[in-house]
Amino acid sequence: MSRAAAADSFNGDIGGVVNHLLNFPETIAKLVSPHETHESNGASSIPVDILDTPKEYIFYMDVPGLSKSDIQVTVEEENTLVIRSSGKRKREEEGECKYLRLERRAPPHKVQRKFRLPENSNVSAITAKCENGVLTVLLEKLPPKSKTVQVAIS
């Protein structure tokens, strides 16, 4: 992305800058190989909503049919949030019972998503919960750095 294109896409909007930073690995992957996602080896992408609050970033992902034991949330290279699952929706058939029709969408066998985290992210204070088919990841923000520097007088 050229500087002019980057400047036009942000238009002075801090939210746009944060969104660009959070999607950085995806942007690079699209530039390098526009027809593939950065999640290689057959993994598909998890749709996500990211909320920027004054104290934290909140990631919401729909993961229907997956339990919390099917999902892994990690931080790699100190600034990349990785969410992956190799879980599969279980189909319960008992005895002589069998499905006549399966129309509900099951999540793909493998899903993965990576997010580059902003510098003000507290990676040691990440929590995640999975309830009612929604994975919620909370990422606390670090307090802003002081812009005042005390200079000693000699």
For β-strands 56-62 and 111-116, DSSP reports them as unpaired
Residue 30's pLDDT is 45
Q: What are the distances in angstroms from CA 5 to CA 21, 142, 153, 154?
A: 15, 30, 45, 47
- Residue in 77, 76, 80, 83 with CA at minimum distance from that of residue 60: 83
The model's pTM: 0.60
The residues, ordered by sequence, that sit 6+ positions from 67 with a Cβ below 8 Å of its Cβ are: 87, 130
For β-strands 56-62 and 71-76, DSSP reports them as unpaired
Condensed to tens digits (0 to 9), the pLDDT of residues 50-101 reads 999 999 999 999 888 788 888 999 999 989 999 988 766 566 666 788 777 7
Give the Cα separation of 84 and 43 in Å (integer). Answer: 9
